[in-house]
Homo-oligomer: A and B are copies of this chain.
């Protein structure tokens, strides 16, 4: 029998796999380790319980060549020491910014640890990206991470029992499910901060990728990237991705939002799919050369598109290439930034007795011509 295209399995040049031994470390009295998920089509995700980080993600291109499409490192120490704090990480308790690092619940003010000027970013310096999760692998395609965030950790109220489940299924979907319960009223907004380059991590740019975002509106920000409270149409702005555009096409725009964001770093208000028992289509992105394509589906009302504007080239990644300015992107599904202080935005309040449950799917395929 001739070898059909589907039977071949090749790694792209320069790709190596992470070694578990480089991720074994004791932190905060817990053991950090590396966990591997693999599906029947050969897709593979390596995840560490340090920050719940996706260490590598192997996805095929049009010729069934597998490449690692997420930024990161092959040792735990590099993750810990990196200038970029969020590579591949789970983000909590609150993805994106909370203005002035404060909010109030029932008349009580909570002061958060500020780590972004006067604001709180991604849960603060000791956020979920930097904690060690308890890990369990019920099967070779599933990783269950749990973490009990104590009352007032980083300033957030309530003991928050959190479970994040990664599943790499045979539909070539990486499914991330977030669950949490609290014993006091609190605000919560969990997400994943995977940085992607569909041409393979370490490739020089993502500005050639084509991106579509299912959003008629976005939430504009001020110069400190805190929402103004407005919801504006994307129409006639560089944030109009309702049809495919190359990311770089309008990247030099002098639109104030592009100036404030130093490029793309904005929350999009996802259009509803009118079928609320299915996840909402959020975005689709593909690399025109390899034709690797990623679609994002989510139960969340918003998504941050971040174009890697803060990458500087100082960090050198898994195959020895520097992570250059705008050489990877993030699609962070979420509630809107600063919701605790924005009365017009969907609420992020979680009460005792309620269950926080959200799901996001990153689905991989090959873009047809």
Contacts and interface: CB of A to CB of B under 8 A. Distances in A.
Interface of A: 104-109, 216-217, 219, 228-233, 269-272, 274-278, 301-302, 336, 341, 343-347
Contact of A272 (B219, B231, B278, B343): B343
Given A104-B275, A104-B276, A276-B104, A344 B231 contact: yes
Contact of A107 (B228, B271, B278): B278
A115 to B, nearest CB: 22
B230 A231 contact: yes
Q: How many monomers of this protein are in the complex?
A: 2
Identify the 7 closest CB pairs spanning chains A and B, nearest first. Answer: A107-B277, A269-B344, A231-B231, A106-B277, A301-B343, A231-B344, A272-B343
A275 B344 CA distance: 16
Interface of A is mostly: loop
B343 A345 contact: no
Contact of A344 (B106, B228, B276, B301): B301
Contacts of A343: 269-272, 301, 346
A217 B230 contact: yes
Nearest to A102: B274
Contacts of A270: 343
Contacts of A341: 272
A31 B347 CA distance: 41
A277 B185 CA distance: 13
Contacts of A231: 229-231, 344
A287 to B, nearest CB: 29
